[in-house]
Every structure is written in structure tokens, then in C-alpha cells.
Copies of this chain bind each other. A is one copy, B any other.
Amino acid sequence: MPESQQIERSVFFISDGTAITAETLGHSLLAQFPNVKFNVHIIPYISSEEDALKVVQEINACQQVEGELPLVFDTLVNPHVREIINTANAVNLDVFEGMISKLEQELKTAPTSLIGQTHAVIDSEYYKARIDAVHFALDNDDGARTRHYDKADIILIGVSRSGKTPTAIYLSLQFGIRVANYPLTEEDLDDNRLPKVLREHKAKLFGLMIDADRLVAIRTERKAGSRYASYSQCQMELRAIEGIYISEGIPFLNVSEMSIEEISTRVLQITGLKRRIS
């Protein structure tokens, strides 16, 4: 479609907290409309009626400039604040509308309507597990240290730049999983067997696999023209590591077409590890 016909639309994500929930949900929905260019405004920490009135002015100003109604996603708990936002000249996609009252009716207990509740969050076991897991992932990144592998829930292995580090970080931060990661280098692969430190923890190993084309592209961004980034080198390493995965019976996943969210979700599904959530 020619650029002049591209539909543009302003979107507001409004929350009394960080706006991360509104943003996550909104993006899932907006991804269904790839032809539209969305101009995103993220507005966290709207807790008073005064704050809300300012946001309404901002939305209305946007509508006046663009001549189209902006889309508004909100996750506001306070009904008074929500009502004010609803007065804006906008298409209101009230995420919580109906849901909280439906839950209230079903659970036969009133919602707290407490905004934030961060204190409860940071003192929860779940939150502490996540923060501990992030520190664990960093301390045990890239084979730097191996002496804490007995405390790991899982040890990701793979060739350099196959996605081990971002996956380890995501699993720890989002799901509270204690993840170590270890790169199998050319020397390891020449041996055609696992290094001793990994053999001792074989039940925790999980392999990442990637197509040679994709690996070449990723390594080229890092070191263009190097042997490290060459097709023949990448292919050789990948054949060797796949051989080890198969001969050692290590579960593995081809992550070439996957985002870190998807790799992480699949790894949990395959290994049976549980998300540590509240």
C-alpha cells in the first residue's frame, strides 16, 4: 500500500500503575492490524481525578490535530478516575470494564481497589525469587562460573550467539527460573562430547539449535567478514552440536524463528519447569 494511504492512529495506554499490563494487552490487539501505523502514548501513574483531567486534555488535543478519534486502552481501577477518562473524545477500550464486576460477582468478595499494592509485591516470595534468579543468571552467564550449577533449575547450552543469554535473562526475570548458560566452543565441539562440568549435570541440560543462515546473519552483525561469522564455520559448529544433543539424549529446540518469549515458553513446556508466579 502506498505510503500516502497508510492509516495512522494515535493510541493511549493509561494506567494507575506502570501501564505495562495495558501496553502488553494493547500490543497483542494492535498486532492484528499490521496495516495501521499506531502512534503510541504511554501514560503511567494516573491516580487522581486531577491527573485524569490533564490526560483528557491531551487526548482531546490529539483528536483535534488528527481529526480522528484516538484509541484509549486503560487499566484504571478507580471508577471515578476511569469515568473522567471516558469523557475524552476517543474510542475507549476499557480493559477492566465489566471484568472486575464479573469477578466480584463470581467470587462473592469485593475488590480491594487498592492502587499499586507494590509493598505486597516486593515482599512476596515470587518477587524475591525473580530478583534472585536475575542475579543467578548474570553470575552464571556464558560459562563464566560453573560451581553453582547444583543450584540451577536448568542449564542452557548452544553455540555462540544462538540465543542462550537473552533466553536465560527472560526466564529468570519473567518466570523466576534459575538459569545458567554455557557456550560450547570449537574446542568442546572438536572433542565430540560434553565437557566434564556439563556431564555432571546432564539432567539439567537443554540445547538451543539454530539454522546456519540465521547464525551467520547474527554473527555477521557482530563481526562481519570473520571466520567466526562464515557459513562454513557456523555449519560445522551446528552439525557438531546437533550430534552431541542427539547422541547424549539432550532435549533441544530450533529457535531460528522464535522470539525470546516464545523460546522461554517452549522451554518450560518441554522441560516441565513451572513459572514461579504469585
Contacts and interface: CB of A to CB of B under 8 A. Distances in A.
A35 B265 contact: no
Interface string A220-262: 0000000000000000000000000000000000000111111
Contacts of A25: 21, 24-25, 75, 95
A109 interface: yes
Given A17-B262, A19-B265, A107 B33 contact: yes
A20 to B, nearest CB: 6
B131 A34 contact: no
Q: How many copies does the complex hold?
A: 2
A259 B112 contact: no
B118 A259 contact: yes
Interface in A6-47: 7, 9, 17-21, 23-25, 27-36, 40, 42, 44-45
Contacts of A277: 23, 27, 40
A138 interface: yes
Contacts of A23: 275, 277
Interface stretch (A150-158, A167-175, A197-205): A167-175
A120 B258 CA distance: 10
Interface stretch (A56-64, A80-88, A97-105, A182-190): A97-105
Interface string A112-139: 1110111111100001000100110010
Given A35-B109, A169-B173, A265-B20, A71 B103 contact: yes
A23 to B, nearest CB: 7
A96 B29 contact: yes
Contact of A24 (B21, B30, B107, B138): B21
Contacts of A117: 31, 34
A50 to B, nearest CB: 17
A214 B265 CA distance: 33
Which residue, A77, A107, A170, has most C-beta atoms of chain B within 10 A?
Answer: A107
Contacts of A118: 257-259, 262
A55 interface: no
A102 B73 CA distance: 12
Contacts of A103: 29-30, 32-33, 71, 93
Q: Which 10 A-B pairs have the closest CB atoms?
A: A32-B111, A18-B265, A21-B28, A24-B24, A18-B261, A134-B166, A121-B259, A44-B265, A91-B106, A21-B24
Given A25-B75, A122-B257, 4 more contacts: A20-B24, A33-B103, A34-B117, A93-B102
